Amino acid sequence: MKVPESLYDLTNAETAFMRVQGKLERLGPDELRPQNVELVSATSLVLGVSDRVLQFRDRAKHLPEFDASCFDNLVDYALSTWYVHVTNLPQADPPEAAAWIKEVVDLRSKLLLWAEPLAASGQFEQAAVDQIKEGQGHKDAASDVVALVGLYRAVWDKVQTMCGVTEADLIRAADLGPKVFALVGHRENRLRSRPDSSLRVHRTWSLLDNAYEQCRRAIQFFRFDQRDADVIAPSLRSNPGVPTAKAPKAEPPAAQFPSPEATAATEVTSQVPAGPNLGGAGGPFTQNQG
């Protein structure tokens, strides 16, 4: 799946979380949704299909008794869920943390070094480069690296022969930037750790899950005849798996009918009068044991 454009600026995830934080506190226990998905995959899916989902936003606003704010908040909820999840994972810094941070700082310097002349030649927007240059600290460095990858990738066919940046640089930066961003965010979160961090993740996920399902309801209404709503907005819980073979259904036993000879014998026997019961259950010749 293509990396969503909204993830090219990782600080956008933190900003989105700040926008929805007030809604988390108002979410009641009965509004929490089952957290039975892998959150990074689920948020990536929502962000990946958000462009085509949001095409139905204006039409949804005209549906009677339907709250179309689910479309307005969808991307913020997805980014917030990703941010809260990756910054609340209970794990220590990996041993490579210091090396990762240094490499991100070096990659930022290299990508910025070549971004300046590319902006001057009109390949990049100068305003975008200037904004990236304002970043400070390791968290901004990680975000800047991913934003710079987005700039290069947008015109890579044109600029790859015009600069000293390589394909390997972009691949490495795209991989390392999110790791360092999550690492630094994790550190910050540990410093202001709250006992309800798991509940916060659950609440944020519940906002996203509910909003996405409401969007899917509207799309299913609009695309009922085309039968492609699940293609436009796939379920976050679709997992058909490998079909299992069903055990063969047991056939009922064939009915057994008595033969004519057995039937005749039964009729004769039933006509013989039964003798008197002289000896009780033991028969007429049972001796009493004195």
Q: Is residue 50 a part of any domain in this protein?
A: yes
pLDDT in the model for residue 68: 95
- Between CA 148 and CA 132 the distance in angstroms is 8
**pLDDT tens-digit profile of 19-71?**
998 898 888 888 999 888 988 889 988 988 999 999 999 999 999 999 999 99
Do 27 and 144 have their domain in common? no
Q: Average model confidence (pLDDT) for the chain?
A: 79
Structural domains in the chain (count): 2
Residue at which a domain ends, from 188, 209, 241: 188
Please state the rounded mean pLDDT for residues 167-172. Answer: 92
Q: Print the domain residue range for 39.
A: 5-92+195-232
Assign residue 8 a region (left: φ > 0; alpha: ψ between -120 and 50; beta: otherwise). Answer: alpha
Do 84 and 199 have their domain in common? yes
Q: Is a pLDDT exceeding 90 seen at residue 96?
A: no
Do 218 and 81 have their domain in common? yes
Q: Which residues of 181-200 are buried (b: 16+ CB within 10 A; e: fewer)?
A: bbbbbbeebeeeeeeebeeb
> What does the block give as tokens for 257?
């009918």
What string of DSSP letters covers 48-82?
HHHHHHGGGHHHHTTSTT--THHHHHHHHHHHHHH
Residue count (the chain): 290
Residue at which a domain ends, from 167, 188, 209: 188
Q: Is residue 179 a part of any domain in this protein?
A: yes
pLDDT in the model for residue 2: 40
Do 106 and 83 have their domain in common? no
pLDDT in the model for residue 70: 96
Do 105 and 177 have their domain in common? yes
Please state the rounded mean pLDDT for residues 80-93. Answer: 76
Do 41 and 124 have their domain in common? no
Please state the rounded mean pLDDT for residues 164-180. Answer: 90
Name the band, by pLDDT with cuts 50, 70 and 90, for residue 186: confident
Please state the rounded mean pLDDT for residues 169-190. Answer: 82
Do 59 and 202 have their domain in common? yes
Do 37 and 175 have their domain in common? no
**pLDDT tens-digit profile of 140-152?**
888 889 889 989 9
pLDDT > 70: percent of the chain? 73
Do 10 and 71 have their domain in common? yes
Q: Is residue 274 a part of any domain in this protein?
A: no
Integer angstrom CA distances of residue 130 from 109, 124, 270: 13, 11, 109
Lowest mean pLDDT: which of 16-20, 133-137, 267-271? 267-271
Instruction: Report which residue type is found at 118.
Output: L
8 A C-beta contact, residue 75 and residue 16: yes
Do 149 and 16 have their domain in common? no
Please state the rounded mean pLDDT for residues 74-91. Answer: 83
Do 101 and 183 have their domain in common? yes
- Between CA 184 and CA 201 the distance in angstroms is 18
